Amino acid sequence: MDSRSRRLDEKFIEKQTRYLKRLRSSLMEVTESLKTDEKNVNSDKRGSPAEYEDDAQRLALLENDGVLVARDLLRLNRVERALQKIVECTYGLSDASGKPIPKARLVAVPETIYTLAEELAFERH
């Protein structure tokens, strides 16, 4: 029995795997939808007279969509890494320090790959 299986039981790992796979699928759908919306906003402008107010609205929409896509892609990368860690039998251990991540944190944020203290330290820098 490896150290992971002593810390996290197999049912928990299976539940997390199912959740992470559903989350990955959902994030991929949302990201593709936002990218399509961005293309549509850009294509709607072609061939029409320029209106500064319309341009400002388009720019705001594109900026908001871009922020959402970037956020979702970052989260998608975390989900992919968490799934990889499950395969490697290192799920629940920090990528930064190897320290155990509390089960409560894994339940709250299944894609987490760092302890809360490490995550907060990364955000500060």
Q: Domain containing 30 — which CATH number? A: 1.20.120.910
Could you state, in chain order, the average pLDDT of each consecutive group of 10 residues for the chain (125 residues)? 63 97 92 66 55 63 66 91 97 96 96 96 91
Q: What is the structure's pLDDT at 30?
A: 84
DSSP string, 47-115: TS---HHHHHHHHHHHHHHHHHHHHHHHHHHHHHHHHHHHHHT-TTB-TTT-PBPPHHHHHH-TT--S-
Domain total of the chain:
1
> Among 98, 106, 86, which Cα is nearest to 10's?
86
Q: What is the structure's pLDDT at 89?
A: 95
Q: What is the structure's pLDDT at 99?
A: 96
Q: What is the structure's pLDDT at 13?
A: 97
Domain of residue 57, residue span? 3-124
Cα dihedral 8, 103, 82, 35 in deg (nearest 10)? 150
